[in-house]
């Protein structure tokens, strides 16, 4: 925009105004597109060149576009940020449904220096064609950064993520079904959970399952076995260490388990082995939801859900003065008793099958299975070590035998059992209800097997079909034919 010679300005202010207007016109003509936004982020003007981008942005006419908030109509724009911060973005790449552009964004100010809007310029359309080397390098660096982030996330996930779900807890006996019901109730709450049960019953697996079924599933799951940490290191392990707290301490300090579990779940295994002096500090952390690292005067707020577990008799320890009563009541908010294996012998067959499959996969062995006499033999044992003991026995048998079907004769040399002891009553899938015709008995048995398979697999129809040795389509047909209630399936 120019003025006649007779109207040339005399003052410096007029020269600056003319320069600004001239620069504005020059930019509007040189840039491939330009738009002006006011302080409320609303578009007040677009250049002729910018109008060609409107169809790609979903607009047919200029009046449909002008007047809208820029962030509502131009995906990924940062013009609103320029207005809010007053800081220019001189050179940037913008990618949206209209394409990729080299852009510049400048704040507009009044005579008092207040931001009154912003100017956006499209300097180059599709820069990937004219700036190929730079774009290639940018793309490569972006991919490397994304790959590094994925690897870091995967590594952190392997370290601090729970692996097991409620479906991972194998079994469909009444005791296990009740256990799973309580676990789901616990997952829906943020209350402290106390898992009670003998060693080897799967308390840590259940703790992970509760975490994964709750709202903290995307946050860390941190487990610590108190019995495995020396008493002298427990305080630092739990609460962390401030930088230079003592001779030999790390210069940068070290976070404790509570801080590592921030936003997620902290699993305290074998809580009954915690020394009395540390119990008082743990109680305070649980009550106040804050922790003070060793050697620090700073209190760190926490958001951590606690699940504790023990194989010891805590009430007896409280009575003997070996465990603080106030801490016991603070932990005993939602107690869940995990049944011993001898209380759920109905699950022995399913457990053995699951463990043998896992042993074969981990040890690189051919898959094994158990004969009926082996299951009867196993049912006579008390299983003081529970599922951990059962796994150990099955792994030994798999390693010393070449046969695919393991019978009682393969197990007898590995574990002494009083075979004169009466065989407990265990449900077998081959026992049909009495007083029924053969077709009715077959239908009842089929219905029970399908129901148990779905319960054991957490409703996963594909896994249930594999467990039953039939196709998934066949399972769907039988579900419809037997009028079984619908089961939610992730398959």
Q: How many CA atoms lie within 13 A of 220 on its CB side?
A: 19
Lowest mean pLDDT among 92-96, 262-266, 423-427: 423-427
Q: How many CA atoms lie within 13 A of 299 on its CB side?
A: 6
What pLDDT score does 435 carry? 54
The better pLDDT of the pair 43, 145 is held by 43
The yes or no reply on domain 166-242+254-339 and CATH 3.40.50.300 is yes
Distances (CA, A) of 330 to 79, 194, 334, 371, 473: 53, 10, 10, 47, 50
Give the per-residue pLDDT at 448: 80
Question: Which two three-digit tokens encode residue 98?
Answer: 């209209």
Q: Which of 206, 214, 218, 258 is nearest to 237 (CA)?
A: 258
Stretch among 288-292, 377-381, 390-394, 419-423 having the lowest mean pLDDT = 419-423
The answer to whether 294 and 239 are in contact (CB under 8 A) is: yes
Number of CB atoms found within 10 A of residue 257's CB: 22
Residue 424 contacts residue 379 (beta carbons within 8 Å): yes
CB–CB of 318/325 below 8 Å?
yes
Spatial separation of the C-alpha atoms in residues 186 and 335, rounded to whole Å: 9
pLDDT confidence bin for 186, thresholds 50/70/90: very high
pLDDT at 131 over 90: no
Per the model's pLDDT, the better-predicted residue between 405 and 11 turns out to be 405
Within 8 A by CB and 6+ apart from 5, the residues are none
Q: How far is CA 402 from the centre of its chain?
A: 40
Look up tokens 């008493």; give the residue: 231
Q: Which residue has the higher pLDDT, 2 or 316?
A: 316
Indicate if the pLDDT at residue 167 is higher than 80. Answer: yes
Distance, CA of 391 to chain centre:
28
Q: Per-residue confidence at 332, pLDDT binned at 50, 70, 90?
A: very high
220 vs 261: CA distance, rounded Å? 5
- Tell me what pLDDT residue 168 has: 87
Is 31-125 in CATH node 3.30.70.20? no
What pLDDT, on a 0 to 100 scale, did the predictor assign at position 136?
A: 63
pLDDT tens column, 255-277: 888 889 999 999 999 999 999 98
Contact between residue 256 and residue 237 where contact means Cβ atoms under 8 Å apart: yes
Dihedral pair phi/psi, residue 308, rounded to 5°: -110, 160
Residues 195-222 as b/e (b if ≥16 CB within 10 A, e otherwise) read bbbbbbbbbbbbbbbbbbbbebeebbbb
pLDDT tens readout for residues 43-93: 999 888 888 888 888 888 888 889 999 888 888 888 988 998 889 988 887
Mean pLDDT value of segment 160-172: 83
Q: Are 463 and 457 in contact (CB under 8 A)?
A: yes
Phi and psi at residue 59, in whole multiples of 5°? -125, 140
What pLDDT does 431 receive?
47
DSSP string, 436-474: --HHHHHHHHHHHHHHHHHHHTTT-HHHHHHHHTS-HHH
Domain spans, the chain: 31-125, 166-242+254-339, 342-414, 429-491
Is 70 exceeded by the pLDDT of residue 171? yes
The model carries a pTM of: 0.56
Lowest mean pLDDT among 204-208, 229-233, 342-346, 410-414: 229-233
For residues 410-416, give the mean pLDDT: 87
The token duo for 256 is 């404790």
The pLDDT of residue 196 is: 95
- What residues have CB less than 8 Å from 100, skipping those under 6 apart? 93, 94, 126, 127, 128
Task: Go through 425-440 and write b for each residue having 16 or more CB atoms within 10 A of its CB, e for each that does not.
Answer: ebeeeeeeeeeeeeee
Instruction: Pick from 297-301, 369-373, 458-462 the range whose average pLDDT is largest.
Output: 369-373
Q: How far apart are CA 67 and CA 58, in angstroms?
A: 15
- Average the pLDDT over 208-214 and give the result: 93
Q: Provide the token pair at 164.
A: 């097991």
The pLDDT value given to residue 491: 41
Q: pLDDT band at residue 279, thresholds of 50, 70 and 90?
A: very high
Mean predicted lDDT score pLDDT of the chain: 82
Cα angle at 224 between 218 and 228, to 5 degrees?
160
Residue 163 binned pLDDT confidence (cut-offs 50, 70, 90): confident
- 185 or 99, which is more confident: 185
3-class SS shares of the chain: helix, strand, coil, % to 5: 50, 15, 35
What's the CATH fold of domain 342-414? Helicase, Ruva Protein; domain 3 (1.10.8)
Angle among Cα 389, 392, 395 to the nearest 5 degrees reads: 150
In the three-class reduction of DSSP (H, G, I as helix; E, B as strand; rest coil), residue 220 is classed as coil
Mean pLDDT for the stretch of residues 104-121 = 89
Give the least confident one: 3-12, 109-118, 289-298, 471-480. 3-12
Q: What is the mean pLDDT of residues 19-35?
A: 78
pLDDT of residue 10: 56
Of the CATH numbers 3.30.565.10, 1.10.3720.10, 1.10.10.60, 3.30.70.1140, which one belongs to the domain with range 429-491? 1.10.10.60
Residue 264 and residue 219 in contact, taking contact as beta carbons nearer than 8 Å: yes
Residue percentage of the chain with pLDDT more than 70: 81
**How high is the pLDDT of residue 430?**
46
Residue burial 351-377, b: 16+ Cβ < 10 Å; e: rest: bbbbbbeebeeeeeeeebebbeebbbb
Q: 480 pLDDT band (50/70/90 cuts)?
A: confident
What does the DSSP assignment read for 362-411? HHT----EE-HHHHHHHHTS--TTHHHHHHHHHHHHHHH---SEE-HHHH
């Amino acid at each position: 925009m120019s003025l006649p010679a007779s109207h040339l300005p005399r003052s410096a202010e007029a020269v600056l105004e003319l320069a600004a207007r001239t620069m504005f016109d020059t930019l509007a003509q040189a840039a491939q597109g330009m738009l002006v936004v006011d302080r409320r982020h609303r578009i007040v003007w677009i250049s002729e060149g910018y109008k060609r981008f409107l169809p790609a942005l979903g607009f047919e006419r200029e009046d449909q576009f002008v007047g809208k908030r820029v962030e509502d109509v131009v995906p990924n724009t940062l013009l609103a940020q320029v207005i809010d911060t007053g800081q220019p973005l001189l050179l940037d790449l913008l990618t949206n449904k209209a394409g990729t552009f080299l852009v510049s964004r400048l704040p507009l100010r009044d005579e008092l220096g207040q931001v009154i809007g912003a100017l956006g310029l499209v300097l180059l359309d599709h820069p990937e064609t004219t700036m190929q080397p730079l774009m290639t390098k940018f793309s490569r660096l972006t991919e490397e950064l994304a790959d590094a982030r994925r690897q870091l996330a995967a590594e952190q996930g392997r370290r601090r993520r729970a692996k097991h779900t409620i479906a991972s807890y194998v079994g469909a006996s009444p005791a296990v079904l009740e256990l799973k019901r309580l676990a789901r109730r616990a997952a829906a709450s943020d209350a402290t959970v106390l898992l009670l049960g003998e060693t080897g019953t799967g308390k840590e697996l259940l703790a992970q399952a509760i975490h994964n079924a709750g709202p903290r599933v995307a946050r860390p799951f941190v487990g610590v076995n108190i019995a495995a940490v020396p008493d002298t290191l427990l305080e630092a392990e739990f609460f962390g260490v401030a930088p230079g707290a003592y001779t030999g301490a790390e210069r940068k300090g070290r976070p404790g388990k509570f801080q590592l579990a921030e936003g997620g779940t902290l699993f305290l295994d074998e809580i009954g082995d915690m020394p009395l002096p540390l119990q008082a500090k743990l109680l305070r952390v649980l009550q106040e939801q804050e922790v003070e690292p060793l050697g620090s005067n700073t209190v760190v707020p926490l958001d951590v859900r606690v699940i504790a577990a023990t194989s010891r008799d805590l009430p007896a320890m409280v009575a003997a003065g070996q465990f603080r009563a106030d801490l016991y009541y603070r932990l005993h908010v939602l107690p869940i008793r995990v049944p011993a294996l001898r209380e759920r012998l109905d699950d022995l067959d399913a457990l053995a099958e699951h463990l043998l499959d896992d042993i074969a996969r981990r040890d690189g062995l051919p898959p094994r299975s158990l004969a009926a006499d082996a299951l009867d033999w196993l049912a006579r044992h008390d299983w003081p070590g529970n599922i951990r003991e059962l796994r150990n026995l099955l792994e030994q048998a798999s390693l010393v035998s070449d046969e695919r079907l393991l019978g009682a004769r393969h197990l007898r040399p590995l574990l002494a059992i009083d075979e004169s002891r009466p065989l407990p009553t265990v449900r077998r899938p081959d026992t049909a209800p009495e007083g029924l015709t053969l077709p009715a008995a077959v239908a009842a048995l089929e219905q029970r097997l399908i129901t148990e398979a779905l319960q054991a697999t957490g409703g996963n129809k594909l896994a249930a079909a594999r467990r039953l040795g039939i196709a998934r389509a066949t399972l769907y047909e039988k579900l419809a034919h037997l009028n079984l209630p619908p089961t939610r399936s992730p398959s």
